[in-house]
Amino acid sequence: MASHRRPKQPSRTRVTVLTATAAAAVVLSSQAAHADPKPTKSEVKAKVDKLNQDVEKATEHYDGAKEQQQKLKKEVDDLQDNVARGQQDLNKLRDQLGSLASAQYRSGGIDPSVQLFLSSDPDNFLDKATAQDQLSSQQADAIKKIQAKQRSLAQQRLEAQDKLKDLSATRKKLGDNKKQVQSKLAAANKLLNSLTAAERAALQADDARANRASDRANLGNALPASARGGAALTAAKTQLGKPYVYGATGPNSFDCSGLTSWAYAQAGVSLPRTSQAQANAGTRIYSSSALKPGDLVIFYGDMHHVALYAGNGMVLHAPRTGTNVRYESMGDMPFQFGVRI
């Protein structure tokens, strides 16, 4: 005989679990369908190039903070040396004043009129009295010198304290800039590591081609505008192939402004450390056709990159992280103006 019992209904708990599982599956499948595709080699290269530009900007800020730190440290050291020498001078003045006071005390125990009455040699006593007046005058002068020295030392100490505060702030800024550079470098490396071995090899081949093109660069036969510019360019040429390293000023590695400042130092010219400061180091030349070998060339609107004009539309520079000092076409970067030193 057939059973007429109704089928058992699933429990409310089981229905809830099944519904939640189904919903999660829908969400996951939706996310998978809309997940961003893996970036192509070209997209990664564009992002890495942008990060390298950011690295160079941060590097120039880092270089500027480092230069300011060195300048402030020297000023603080000089002030502290001056204070130490001034304190020695003050101690000598105080010793001299003490000697004058002792001499005055020894000769001033009896009233001058009584000393004259009792003196067996009045003329000799009068000579001594004149000397005593001169001693008091010397004492007054010594006190004035001590007071002036104390005021000077107090002012120098205050100035040194202010410089120390500035130095502390600059050191913090230097550390922050360094962290920013390292963070962007890490982001660029992470992007590069997301590529396949073949894609990374292709990017390396691109750089190798750029280096070979540098070796074959046609610089023309234009002459430098000055002996200084020619000497700087000649010095820079000896550094072809050296790696770019942020904050480096040679001779084993360089960043962009590190190379130009090093090159001009070999020509006997001291340039400021950063590209922005070097942009104001000489006479600006706004026409690229008027550039001469050895002129500085400033790129980008914020002037964060500097190179040396090499001739025939080519520059010699330290391009960016992961590259070496080499020749490249000026047309590869947005030209702002040249600077003739």
Is 2.40.240.20 the CATH number for 222-340? Answer: no
List the structure tokens of 91: 């101690």
Residue 30 CB coordination number (10 Å): 10
Rounded-to-integer distance, Cα 306 and Cα 333, Å: 11
Rounded-to-integer distance, Cα 236 and Cα 214, Å: 14
Rounded-to-integer distance, Cα 199 and Cα 44, Å: 10
Rounded-to-integer distance, Cα 334 and Cα 113, Å: 94
Question: What are the pLDDT digits (tens) for 79-120?
Answer: 888 888 878 877 877 777 666 566 655 555 444 544 444 445
Say what the pTM is.
Answer: 0.65
Query: Among all residues, which ones are annotated catalytic?
Result: 256, 305, 317
> Residue 287 in contact with residue 103, Cβ under 8 Å?
no
Question: What are the pLDDT digits (tens) for 144-191?
Answer: 777 787 888 888 888 888 888 888 888 888 888 888 888 888 888 888
What's the burial of 318, exposed, middle or buried (CB within 10 Å: 0-12/13-18/19+)?
buried
> Residue 51 in contact with residue 192, Cβ under 8 Å?
no
- Cα–chain center distance at 328: 26
Question: What are the pLDDT digits (tens) for 281-304?
Answer: 999 999 999 999 999 999 999 999
Which part of the chain is CATH 3.90.1720.10?
222-340
List the structure tokens of 243: 């790696």
pLDDT at position 220, please? 93
- Cα–chain center distance at 303: 15
Question: What are the pLDDT digits (tens) for 292-335?
Answer: 999 999 999 999 999 999 999 999 999 998 899 999 999 989 99
Smallest CA-to-CA distance from 182 within 46, 55, 323, 321 is with 55
Is 1.10.287 the CATH number for 41-193? Answer: yes
The helix or strand, by DSSP H or E, that contains position 239, with its residue range, turns out to be none
Rounded-to-integer distance, Cα 120 and Cα 144, Å: 38
Q: Choose between 30 and 209: higher pLDDT.
A: 209
SS3 257: helix
Which part of the chain is CATH 1.10.287?
41-193
| Helix then strand then coil, % of the chain, to nearest 5 | 65, 10, 25
